[in-house]
Amino acid sequence: MQHATLGDFVGTPLTQIMTVQQQAMGQSGSGGQDSAAASLPIPPEDEARIIGQMLERHYRQTLDEPVPEPGM
């Protein structure tokens, strides 16, 4: 009955199960994203600066968002 209603909108979940050891060894099956990241080494100083800037921007944006009034 649900298949007739939902049709092709519902199917097999797209999940991947990995053990801790597989993750530690870098077996992600992500289509090469890990190798692409490894080919672009970023110095630790630049990485810390970039992450700090991103977090600063995120927190400022979050604090600047209006807080809804209770009951609204």
53, part of any domain = yes
Length of the chain: 72
Mean pLDDT score, 10-38 = 67
CA dihedral of 46, 36, 19, 15, whole degrees rounded to 10: 110
Residues 25, 33: contact at Cβ < 8 Å?
A: no
**Total number of domains in the chain:** 1
Q: Given pLDDT bands bounded at 50, 70 and 90, which one contains residue 71? A: confident
pLDDT reading at 9 higher than 80: no
pLDDT reading at 37 higher than 70: no
What pLDDT does residue 32 have? 47
**Cα four-point dihedral sign 36, 41, 42, 44:** positive
pTM: 0.40
Residues 47, 56: contact at Cβ < 8 Å?
A: no
**Number of other residues whose CB lies within 10 A of the CB of residue 34:** 13
What pLDDT does residue 3 have? 62
Structural domain of 51: 41-65
Mean pLDDT score, 13-30 = 74
57, part of any domain = yes
